[in-house]
Amino acid sequence: MVPSVSIGLALCVLIFFALSLKPLEARGTFGRLAGKPPQRTASGGICASSVHIYGYKCEEHDVVTQDGYILNMQRIPEGRTGTGAGDGGKRQPVLIQHGILVDGMSWLLNPADQNLPLILADQGFDVWMGNTRGTRFSRRHKYLDPSQRAFWNWSWDELVSYDLPAMFDHIHGLTGQKIHYLGHSLGTLIGFASFSEKGLVDKVRSAAMLSPVAYLSHMTTVIGNIAAKSFLAEATSILGWAEFNPKSGLVGGFIKAICLKAGIDCYDLLSVITGKNCCLNASTIDLFLANEPQSTSTKNMIHLAQTVRDKELRKYNYGSSDHNIKYYGQAIPPAYNISAIPHDLPLFFSYGGLDSLADVKDVEFLLDQFKYHDIDKINVQFVKDYAHADFIMGVTAKDVVYNQVATFFKRQA
């Protein structure tokens, strides 16, 4: 059970700050962009706003999960010139999966020659971008509406069980090929969990994991640690907020409360959360803040907080032995066994020395789970100066990381 004293304290703190922090609204929870007109938003769809403008073909696809969520995906079927396909002219598909509190547009904020999806398309791949449930273009369901609590009754377990399989099935059905997978942050976590349960291994060709996240016990982001250890997500749920939307409402007040409690200047909240990124362009940060963060479920945030506190990778803990037995048939939620990932699956890891979320110690512990992996099937890159966001928006990422990823994928043909 979650300690009632901790939840009670969190509730008192959050309600107090949510009611008393109005003067900070002018600056905005996420800092510098407040009051500035956005340069580019994805209101017309990610293809129209962020791919077509660079002269690339792009298709919008909708995919329905087995539990009824309608997920939006983008496909960039070829490079700008339409040339460069490998494998006898048949382009190998790549699925790119974003992290927590963002969507697929987070890969498309720099100039075209610095954006990973476009770089891979130019190098001959059939590029797909996923958008998990709850993000702006995946707020749809066959029967439920985002205004209903039931719409938000999921954690990253459901991304593993439903979202990734739906995306993989859709791509595989259209292309008839195995898929290269590339994840960042939460995108790596759901990839690890899925591959460990053998659900997608018959459809995956290889996997590249940037800022890999599975174990979070050494996470150095102060705001994340306070949020997890103060049971703030649980308190949010008790107050009735099934949707965790950092941009508005009580959640924004919670974030301000954490900043004040920790004595942190959260004007540049991106750096506070991710670590001191070395290589971000100021205009890219402004564009990021115009479009992100995205909503997720409060239950998902609770699950991530459990991972931080419990120092284990398990399915969602329902808070009591009785409830866990009801859902899992056992008192403790089942563990995800990362070492069960097939030892012959080609893997590429890239992690940063300044990352506050994917801390070096946690990544090294993760890598230790692969000590029996086929040695010629695993590639590890350490980038000393990179933090969490450098891997998706860094101006040097093409030369430092993305070209290495493309070379790795091509070797698996």
Residues that are catalytic: 185, 355, 388
Query: Buried b / exposed e across 340-371, counting CB within 10 Å, b at 16+?
Result: ebeeebbbbbbbbebbbbbbbebbeebbebbe
Where residue 297 falls (left for φ over 0; alpha for ψ -120 to 50; beta otherwise) is beta
d(CA 303, CA 297): 10
Any idea which residue has 């382009």 for tokens? 91
Residues recorded for the chain: 413
Q: How many CB atoms lie within 10 A of CB 403?
A: 13
Contact 354, 220 (CB under 8 A): no
Report which of 138, 175, 172, 173 is spatially closest to residue 158, judged by C-alpha positions: 138
d(CA 130, CA 397): 20
Query: Buried b / exposed e across 219-257, counting CB within 10 Å, b at 16+?
Result: bebbbbbbbbebbbbbbbbbeebbbbbbbeebbbbbbbb
Any idea which residue has 């100039």 for tokens? 111
Q: Which pair of tokens denotes residue 117?
A: 């999806």
**Residue ranges of E strands in 46-187:** 59-64, 69-76, 93-97, 126-130, 140-141, 179-185
Q: Which pair of tokens denotes residue 60?
A: 């919008």
Amino acid identity, residue 195? F
